[in-house]
Amino acid sequence: MRASETGGFTLLEVMVAVAILGLGLTAILSAQAGAFASAAHTRHLSMAVGLARCRMTEVEEHLLIDGFQELDENGSGPCCGDDDTPGMRCDWRVEKPQLPEPKFGDLDLNAGLDLSTPSGDLASGLGPLSTFASAGQGQNPFPESASPTDIASTLAGGEGGFDISGITGFLMSQVYPQVKTIFDASARRITVTVIWNEGNKEQTLEVSQWVTSAAPAGLALAAAADAASKAMETDTSTSTDSGRSTGGNPPPSDRGR
């Protein structure tokens, strides 16, 4: 009788199976470690958002009580009052806006001011509005037969539309310095940065916002109005004194009577 043969796996097959099992376990463990890291990062990020909001509120309260300072302010420490959250700290700064200075030095002081000629720089800058320049010289800028539609078309610049680049530059040169002063006095930028570590890597969360206060701008406008009012009172009192000194001496004809 022949002995029955017993089936089994060869050494090569066992090695391949072990390699496949190792690769599968490695992928599973890597995914699990990534899930843990993502959960920790999400938890830290949620805490950082709350701490940044708390610090932002405290900085706003500080500005509300102490007002805006002329210089930038910087700080570092616990994010929320005395709540020292382990592994987290905050840096914050309050910055004064820096608007560009108007470049009046680039203006051409020798530019033509002849509004009656199309070649005048100011007239060309005003665009269709330069049509009214001749009205100041006693000339009718529109023909007698012009209809309202023709006048509107002329003011609109015809088919090319209204070129407002020139008049915009003129207005900005007059308005921009005042707007810059008010904005510098009444606006501040608050930036809060929350810092923490995840392993050997540093993580940060930065939030910024602009805050405004009408008090500094109102004080500036009130001071300007007060100065103008005092100047007007001085002029009025001077005029009154002059009138009194003149009225105290009657003309020679009245003296004879």
Q: What is the pLDDT of residue 210?
A: 93
Q: What is the pLDDT of residue 206?
A: 94
Task: Name the pTM for this structure.
Answer: 0.54
Q: What is the pLDDT of residue 200?
A: 87
Q: What is the pLDDT of residue 100?
A: 78
Q: What is the pLDDT of residue 121?
A: 45
Q: What is the pLDDT of residue 42?
A: 92
CA distance linking residue 73 with residue 96, whole number of Å? 9
Q: What is the pLDDT of residue 20?
A: 95
- Local structure of 1: helix, strand or coil: coil
Residue 82, CB-side half-sphere exposure with 13 Å CA sphere: 0
Asked if residue 127 lies in contact with residue 157, where contact means CB atoms within 8 angstroms, the answer is yes
Structural tokens at position 37: 């890291």
CA distance linking residue 204 with residue 198, whole number of Å? 10
Asked if residue 63 lies in contact with residue 211, where contact means CB atoms within 8 angstroms, the answer is yes
Q: What is the pLDDT of residue 83?
A: 75
Q: What string of DSSP letters covers 80-144?
A: BTTB--TTEEEEEEEE---PPPP-GGGS-TT----TTSTT-HHHHHHGGGGGGGGGGGT--SS-T
Q: Enumerate residues 6+ apart whose C-beta is below 8 A from 206.
A: 191, 192, 193, 194
CA distance linking residue 212 with residue 169, whole number of Å? 27
Per-residue pLDDT of the chain (257 residues; tens, 9 = 90+): 455 566 678 889 899 999 999 999 999 999 988 898 889 899 999 999 999 999 999 999 999 888 888 888 999 988 887 777 788 999 999 998 887 776 655 555 455 444 444 444 444 444 555 555 555 555 555 566 666 666 666 555 544 444 555 566 666 677 777 788 888 888 999 999 999 998 888 999 999 999 988 776 665 555 555 655 665 565 555 555 555 544 445 554 444 44
Q: What is the pLDDT of residue 66?
A: 87
Domain-wise residue ranges, the chain: 14-101+182-222, 104-176
CA distance linking residue 192 with residue 207, whole number of Å? 5
Residue bearing tokens 């930065």: 206
CA distance linking residue 234 with residue 40, whole number of Å? 72
CA distance linking residue 211 with residue 186, whole number of Å? 8
Least Cα distance to 181 among 205, 217, 157, 151 occurs for 217
